[in-house]
Structure 1
Amino acid sequence: MGITQGTEMAFIWRIAWISLFFFPALLHAQEVKYLDLSSTQQRTELRHPPSPPSECNGGGCIGGGMGGGSVADGAPDQRDPHALGVYLLQVIPTEIRPDEPFDPEFKILNTGRVPIELPIHPHLSDLQPADESVAFSYFSFALVVQGESEPESQGSYVPALGFVELYGSHEHDGTMIELRPGEWIRVRATLKLHTWPAEAVCARLRGGFWLRKNTYRPQPGGAFTDAQNLYPNTAPTPSIPVHFLRASAAAHPKK
């Protein structure tokens, strides 16, 4: 009997010890926000000062504005404790015509070991200062659907890509959210594909993302945007079977 009691006590202590590590994570395993963008008309236009007057002489006129942008690239670091998994929960409808909108629903889960901040505001225009000549920085988070052929996890690339972007800044309350490990948000959106297969095909869609820090620099007649890709590690997620229909005669894949 003594041996049995000792074994039971050892088992209880082992469970208690394991709980010290895993129970806090279970407490945080919950949905913390749901965003429905399916009927939201996003405002993403940014302002800049007007162009200066044109200077004209016998050889013509010089004036107008200019703009552009740059993207600083990089790569994930497996030692980085930040990680995200973007799950494509459903697509409505699953028969997708390239020139018509469809509704994907995403689950964005913090699969890392530390908290991570994400932008969650649909309107980029709200983040710009009142003075249109002032540069400002913001984060952008694109939720992506991308195509692949059957079977799952073995299929090759299918040229189907669509995305919706969210924006945020620490200077604007409520536009950023912190996800602790195990926490997630859900986002429903309405979008159209930017690229699609030339022929009708049965394939799959998988969720993905890109995360960036951007600086918008307005100038008379235009603006420059500098973007820096951020690379939290990516957790693999399952894909959803879909049927890409042939585009209507008025729609053509973008090159």
Structure 2
Amino acid sequence: MNRPGPHWIHPDEIHAIGGENGPLYLRLRGRIRRAVEDGRLKAEDALPPEREMAVQLGVSRVTIRRALEGLVAEGLLQQRHGSGTFVTPRTERVQQPLSRLTSFSRDMQIRGRRPTTEWLERSVAPPTPNEMLVLGISPKEQVTRIHRLRLADGLPMAVERATLPARVLPDPESIGASLYETLQQRGFRPVRALQRLRAENLSADDAALLGVPAGSAALSIERVAYLQDGAIVEFTRSSYRGDAYDFVAELTLSEELNAE
């Protein structure tokens, strides 16, 4: 853990703050952001305590606190209980194509990264009304629920919550590194899927799992996967870290537009 030097905000910047327009906390927030962007504040650097910063910059602790709160909400800074405020580690972003149905493990291996899983739940239980509707099963059937935290090189990347008909996967403990590999071995590997994407702010529980502040931006994906005969084999809800993933889709111009 490093502490920034005495001039992580330059003296001329400190004096300039009082002569600019706009709320003081917003101007200070911009100066701290600039210090991160130009490398004066580096990943995992610990900022001085609020009292020390207030004296150093000649502003009130309320101004310091409001400036820091905004940067924490942006994800640029992290506040760790009992330890202080730190610059958030930079995350190498992963590009995930939307046109290809592959497993998380395979995607990470292709990129030369080491995929690992922390199991949050593996169970067989009666379905909820929504699960019955999505999977097209009766109330008498059971479902297998698989909740996982997915990591790459030890960094939490996504929280996945999958539900499958229990007849497809009666023993959730049989899953190895990849759910799709297990399904393929059982003759139930999906061949296509429909995905719905939307932006979300992480709940406190999911944010804690992903190691980011509560309310951080994330990408929520709901996926329904199908077998060759059209039967639904999987329903998954996933939350991907907004600072770690870029989802990419290739588009082609339609024939109607070409004709125009």
- Could you say which structure has the higher helix fraction? 2
Give the TM-score of the pair, scaled to structure 1.
Answer: 0.24
Give the TM-score of the pair, scaled to structure 2.
Answer: 0.24
